[in-house]
Amino acid sequence: FEGLFMAYSDRASFSYLKSFRRARVYFPTSDEAARARVELHLKEFMEKELKVYFVQVRETLDPHLRPPTPEKQFLISPPASPPVDWEPITEQHHVNYDLLTALAQLSPGEPHELIPAEGDKPSIVIHVCEDTPEQRAMGLEKPRIVQTRRPDISES
């Protein structure tokens, strides 16, 4: 196998990637690599067809990556100072105690008007329901929510 590629450069080096069933061949010049790719691509080797790919390496003097443009960078991580015109958002309380108090004062069987009707807009009314005597006498329980069964694991 190595002899096929060594015909194009005696300084070619090889890296075998066994888990991928691949080999990577390094040539000293791009001309040698291009010639090997053109001539060996789809060539039959040990009853298999070779697939040869050419990777162009960018030559740069700076070995470091350039940072991204600073546009909207403050969304990724907090900046040392906030962007211009930034204002903090005041968070609301996690528990609305006024709402909980109002709900606790509702009594079953009585309608409670939340928002009165205005012009062509309807009112919003809550009707708190309670179990009827028939339901209590029958001993009907609330339906139980059954957890969805996990699918069987197929052994392959």
Enter the CATH code of domain 2-49.
3.30.70.330
Which one, of 58, 83, 60, lies nearest residue 72 by Cα?
A: 83
Give the residue range(s) of CATH 3.30.70.330 domains in the chain. 2-49
Which one, of 17, 89, 82, 87, lies nearest residue 53 by Cα?
A: 17
pLDDT tens profile 12-60:
888 888 888 888 898 888 888 888 888 888 888 888 888 888 887 677 7
Contact call for residues 114 and 124 (beta carbons, < 8 A):
yes
pTM over 0.75: no
pLDDT tens profile 82-141:
778 888 777 777 777 887 787 777 777 778 888 889 989 898 888 777 777 777 777 666
Contact call for residues 28 and 9 (beta carbons, < 8 A):
yes
Residue written as token pair 């197929």: 154
Q: Which residues of 104-114 are buried (b: 16+ CB within 10 A; e: fewer)?
A: eeeeeeeeeee
pLDDT in the model for residue 71: 66
Q: 24 φ, ψ to 5°?
A: -115, 130
pLDDT tens profile 64-76:
888 877 666 555 5
